[in-house]
Amino acid sequence: MEWLNAVLQGILLGGLYALLAAGLSLMFGVMRIVNLAHGALAILAAYLGVVLSQNFGIPAFATLIVILPVMFGLGWVLQMTLLNKSLVRGGLAPILVTFGLAVVLIQLFQEIFSADFKSIQAGSIATNSIVINDQIAIGVFPLLTFVVGVAVIVALQLFLSRTRSGRAMRATSDDKDAAQLMGINNRRIYALATAIALTTVGLAGVFLGIRTQFNPTYGDVTLVFAFEAVIIGGLGSLWGTLVGGMVLGIAQTLGSQINPAYGILIGHLVFLAILVFRPTGLLPKAVNS
């Protein structure tokens, strides 16, 4: 029963990881950019949540009304300025620029918010749980996070397959020169992709901030977990990212069940094992570099 409970909690945790990883997956899928500032940006949203709820008295979930548009705008501006420029430079530039951005953001958080742990207070919803029997209880908030994670993946998938902008994004991803000849403005498509990615990051950051106590270094941890979810699931596949998040979540909760100190380590080891034995991930999709 304990183990079943650990698996259940792992699946729910996987929902958070999938939510965190969706933006990373989208940006890589469209532009082949691995955004190393991804985790730091999620923590930026979490700190925005703390400031808005503590200093302005806005209820935790209502902060999303402010944070999501801010992150959307930030994504657009980021792509139009730094990232498009780094793509033109090519080579190592996108990696170096996003890594530099991550370090700058995390150091700024240290200076502004200190290394103390903070969290977004959401009241009883963060602590309530649905008791199934005396050993299994499902937290309302982790369940909500999972549902939102799945919903974001489904929404992104529908957006890419059904809408005009989504089609343009896939076309740009397949062949950016041909897409441009067909009248697609790559720079704007990239900006839209990053804006959407950062919106999901904003959502993920606020949920992370409600769920756990975090400090600036969580920017690093978040990036690593999101990355592992993407690779375990298979590059370029959003459904894969969801599965990858769940596998990582289960590995971590089962590891913690063995010994609380082993959770994260076993998550990493499962990731490395998949890299060695199934390098294309669990749900691979052909990716042309």
Partner 1 sequence: MTTDAVALENVKVSRSTKSSWAGLFVGVVVVLILATAPYVVGRGLQQNLVILFSLIVLGTMWNLLAGYGGMVSIGQQAYIGIGAYGLVVCGDIIGLDPFVSVALAVVIAGVISFPITFVAFRLSGGYFAIGTWVIAEVLRLIVMQVDVLGGGSGITFQAMSESMSPGRRIAYVYWLSLVAVVIAIAVTYLLMRSRLGLGFTAIRDDSVAAGSLGVRVVRSRRLVFVVSAMGCALGGAMIAASTLRVEPESLFSVQWSAFMIFIVVIGGIGTIEGPIVGAIIFFALQQWLSDLGTWYLVILGVLAIVITLYLPKGVWGLISGNGRIRLFPVGYTLKNPLEKYSLAGRAKKDIA
CB hemisphere CA count around 135 (13 angstroms)? 8
Smallest separation, CB 257 to partner 1 (Å): 17
- Contact (Cβ atoms closer than 8 angstroms) between residue 251 and residue 10: yes
Size of the site for partner 1 (CB under 8 A): 45
Q: What φ, ψ does residue 138 adopt, rounded to 5°?
A: -105, 120
Q: Which residues pair with 130 in a beta bridge?
A: 138
Query: Within 106-125, which residues bind partner 1 (CB under 8 A)?
Result: 107-108, 110-111
Smallest distance from partner 1 to CB 267, Å: 10
Nearer to partner 1, 62 or 92 (CB): 92
**Least distance (Å) between residue 205 CB and partner 1:** 19
Q: Which residues, 6+ apart, have CB-to-CB distance to 70 below 8 Å?
A: 48, 202
| Subset of 32-91 contacting partner 1 (CB under 8 A) | 32-36, 82, 85-86, 89, 91
H helical segments located in the chain: 2-31, 38-55, 63-78, 84-89, 93-113, 140-162, 164-174, 176-181, 186-211, 218-233, 238-258, 263-277
| SS3 (DSSP) at 137 | strand
- In this chain, which stretch among 65-73, 188-196, 207-215, 221-229 interacts with partner 1, using CB under 8 A? 221-229
Task: Give me the least distance between CB of 281 and partner 1, in Å please.
Answer: 11
> Where do the DSSP E strands lie in the chain?
129-131, 137-139
Residue closer to partner 1, measured from CB, 94 or 209: 94
Q: Which lies closer to partner 1 via its Cβ, residue 4 or residue 278?
A: 278
Residues within the interface to partner 1 (CB under 8 A): 28, 32-36, 82, 85-86, 89, 91-101, 103-104, 107-108, 110-111, 220, 223-224, 227-228, 231, 235, 261, 264-265, 268-269, 271-272, 275-276, 279, 289
